[in-house]
């Protein structure tokens, strides 16, 4: 089975690091971008199964990335989990309106359970993407 490919977009190295560790342990191939411009560049060059996307970033922010993704036929259907410290109702509403599939607010605790829930929501509980995940590892 080919591993699913995830793009992790966050300007904080340490946040990319622990997300990368979980995702690799679950069998995903992980690529990273440190800002919105880098994310869109990688999305143009490669195919991804889903994105973890920070919002407040230099160059282009996550909202801009999401908007551009949803208006581009190549990327409009790629599921996106938004990761952000913006935790007010109107921020979440904006995220879902722009096309986010799941919304995780920083600082998140029990990261693995939250990520799994987001992935289950995107692909379904019994999908190939979810079956390899053991959060009790």
When binding is defined by CB under 8 A, the residue of 74, 108, 125, 132 that contacts another protein is 108
When binding is defined by CB under 8 A, the residue of 22, 60, 70, 94 that contacts another protein is 22
Asked whether 10 and 57 are in contact (CB, 8 A), the reply is yes
CB of 71 to another protein, least distance (A): 27
Query: What is the separation of C-alpha 89 from the centre of its chain, rounded to a whole number of angstroms?
Result: 20
By CB under 8 A, is residue 134 in contact with another protein?
A: no
Question: What does the chain come to in residues?
Answer: 137
By CB under 8 A, is residue 111 in contact with another protein?
A: yes
Cβ closer to another protein: 21 or 96? Answer: 21
Pick out residues in 72-91 that bind another protein (CB under 8 A). Answer: 85-86
What does the DSSP 8-state code read for residue 117?
H
Cβ closer to another protein: 59 or 70? Answer: 59
How many residues sit close enough to another protein to count as binding (CB under 8 A)? Answer: 19
DSSP 24-71: HHTT-EEEEESSHHHHHHHHHHS--SEEEEESS-SSS-HHHHHHHHHT
């Amino acid at each position: 089975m080919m591993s699913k490919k995830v793009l992790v977009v966050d300007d904080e190295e340490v946040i990319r690091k622990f997300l990368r560790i979980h995702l690799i342990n679950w069998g995903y191939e992980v690529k990273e971008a440190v800002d919105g411009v880098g994310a869109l560049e990688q999305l143009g060059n490669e195919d991804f199964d889903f994105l973890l996307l920070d919002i407040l970033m230099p160059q282009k922010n996550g909202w801009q990335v999401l908007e551009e993704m949803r208006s581009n036929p190549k990327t409009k259907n790629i599921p996106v989990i938004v990761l952000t410290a913006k935790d007010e109702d109107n921020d979440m509403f904006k995220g879902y309106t722009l096309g986010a599939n799941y919304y995780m607010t920083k600082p998140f605790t029990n990261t693995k359970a939250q990520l799994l829930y987001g992935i289950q929501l995107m692909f379904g509980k019994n999908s190939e993407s979810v079956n390899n995940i053991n959060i009790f590892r």
